[in-house]
Structure 1
Amino acid sequence: MKKPLRAAAASIFGLVFIMSPIANLHAAELKVLAGGSLTGPLNELGPPFERATGHKLTIHFDSTPNLIKLATSDAPFDLGVVPVDVFKDAAAKARFASGPTINIARVGYGVAMRAGAPKLDVSTPDALKKTLLDAQSIAFLPASAAGAYVSSVFERLGIGEAMKAKTKPQTATGDIAKAVAKGDAELGVFLINVLMAPGVEIAGPFPTELQNDLVFTSAVAADTKEAEAAKAFIAYLKTPAAAAVIKAKGMEPG
């Protein structure tokens, strides 16, 4: 994030806290569960929040299945900024305070190739199908909500079985683009913001007929002792300055 943007985030959020009784809260240590695809935005937004409030953030980034496991375990946490799929699990949903969740960001899917490689066509379902079938290998994270959607697109294109032989499964979102940049995989197929990384280029988003936004939503843990601080962090993620960072990282706010 450029310095003016970082300064704006800090100053705007600081103003919010000066004008609010939240500013007088004791410093809290917030344990946050977050979707792995939010690593970039939250790593940018965390420090200004900490400086403005005195609160300390410990953010655990992970895939949807692992976030569900954590939410339903005995491990304590204070809030989540997670894929909406986490709340489709009844046991996980029960660990959060009742009421509507607050959407923070959304992002669609696309295809990435190694920087400098010949431009690929993914503009229509048929073009995407051909590009995927022509590729020697494809990196994505199957064990995630986004990975499940990618797999469903393969099935819709009628190439599910063919893709299994080409798949180079990754264990973390950040590894997808790295695999493509190093030449370990010819293509990366995942959320577009995750694919925006050094050494790779975005071939394009999924065609409209196959596109879908993954929404990241937030809620306070039902049993947290730091509810006000957790709510303050969620409110911060809805500020214009935070929205600018989210957009700069390849996602859409809200």
Structure 2
Amino acid sequence: MTFAFRHTVTSLLRPAALLLAATLSLTTGPGAARADDVLVFAAASLKNAMDEIAPAFEAATGDKLVVSLAGSSALARQIQAGAPADLFISANKNWMDTLEADGLVQSGTRVDLLANSIVLIAHGKDSSPVEISPALDLGALVGEGRLAMALVDAVPAGVYGKAALESLGLWESVSPKVAQADNVRAALALVAAGEAPYGIVYATDAAAEDDVTVVGTFPADSHPPIVYPAAVMAQSGKPAAAAALAYLRGPDARAAFEKQGFVVLGE
């Protein structure tokens, strides 16, 4: 990877330490969150939906959702380090399991909120579709370019993508060409900008970007189910946190999630 390419990746992202500092500033700085503000740590793939849900929640309740977006792994580690999140929405179950094992999840509040799928995307609007199967020569398809993915051993979208490629027998041939980004939206941005010709992202992310084409969907049985759990954090003492979680499961939030391509689970 050239220096210029590395610079492109890092310029799209905020390091976890900076994000933690920014998050903490919400409660300690001049613009500190009010007592009825609900600080939501949400997976980066939820950006478009949360952009719509947050103002609607405030209009309906008078309380405010302050949304901090990043890879689920970074957010979970920040909560472990003491970041004052009221709600956490993870893009996979493992990170919520970790926080629950650490005693950081308020008992009885955890719910499976959403489901998603992963797709192969290409730069531009008119790329040809491919059949994603063990017969796909993904390395040849990528050519001299890179396959953009979120961190394959930490960020859920990357973990799911690697699992799918391994299941299909494609990982070994393409792994040297993988460009890892800190979260799925950064991987999407690399493909949209033409820095990488192909990438693996959630279907919902692809739907939010005009400069990419979905060229194939990974078989559902090639990776673990993609489920987004949500819960109130144990340290939150705000009644509005439970109300916010209930709102996320209600009809207005459901419409926003479904518009972005999520499958809403449960109620």
Does the Cα contact within 8 Å between 1:27 and 1:54 map onto a contact in 2? no
**1:22-66 superposed Cα distances (whole Å, 9 cap, x missing partner):** xxxx96011111111111111110001012212122111121221
Match of 1:183 among 186, 189, 194: 194
- What are the within-5 Å matches in structure 2 for residues 1-254 of structure 1? 28-83=36-91, 84-89=93-98, 93-99=102-108, 101-122=110-131, 124-127=132-135, 129-136=136-143, 137-142=146-151, 143-196=154-207, 197-226=209-238, 228-254=239-265
Does the Cα contact within 8 Å between 1:109 and 1:212 map onto a contact in 2? no
Note the C-alpha offset of 1:93: 5.0
Say what the alpha-carbon RMSD is for the aligned residues. 2.1
Unaligned runs of 5+ in 1: 1-25
Letter in 1 for 2:83: A
**1:165-185 superposed Cα distances (whole Å, 9 cap, x missing partner):** 211222232222222122211
Distance 1:60 1:109 in 2: 23
- Equivalences, count: 226
Letter in 2 for 1:229: A
**1:2-36 superposed Cα distances (whole Å, 9 cap, x missing partner):** xxxxxxxxxxxxxxxxxxxxxxxx96011111111
Distance 1:93 1:202 in 2: 38
Distance change (3 Å), C-alpha of 1:106 and 1:150: same
Letter in 2 for 1:82: S
* Structure 1 segments of 4+ aligned residues over 3 angstroms from their partners: 90-93
Does the Cα contact within 8 Å between 1:247 and 1:253 map onto a contact in 2? yes
Distance 1:100 1:235 in 2: 10
Distance 2:48 2:102 in 1: 25
Does the Cα contact within 8 Å between 1:64 and 1:85 map onto a contact in 2? no
**1:211-232 superposed Cα distances (whole Å, 9 cap, x missing partner):** 5432111111112120x21111
Note the C-alpha offset of 1:198: 1.5
Identity %: 25
Letter in 2 for 1:177: L
Letter in 2 for 1:134: L
**1:183-210 superposed Cα distances (whole Å, 9 cap, x missing partner):** 2111111211112211111112112442
Note the C-alpha offset of 1:98: 1.2
Letter in 2 for 1:135: V
Does the Cα contact within 8 Å between 2:168 and 2:222 map onto a contact in 1? no
User: Which sits farther off after the overlay, 236-245 or 85-94?
Assistant: 85-94
Note the C-alpha offset of 1:78: 1.2
Does the Cα contact within 8 Å between 1:86 and 1:93 map onto a contact in 2? no
Give 3-state SS (helix, strand or coil) of 1:163's partner. helix
Q: TM-score, length-normalised on structure 2?
A: 0.77
Does the Cα contact within 8 Å between 1:34 and 1:81 map onto a contact in 2? yes
Unaligned runs of 5+ in 2: 1-33
Q: TM-score, length-normalised on structure 1?
A: 0.81
Letter in 1 for 2:249: K
Give 3-state SS (helix, strand or coil) of 1:150's partner. helix
Distance change (3 Å), C-alpha of 1:86 and 1:93: farther
**1:64-114 superposed Cα distances (whole Å, 9 cap, x missing partner):** 221221121122221212232222215665111112512221101111112
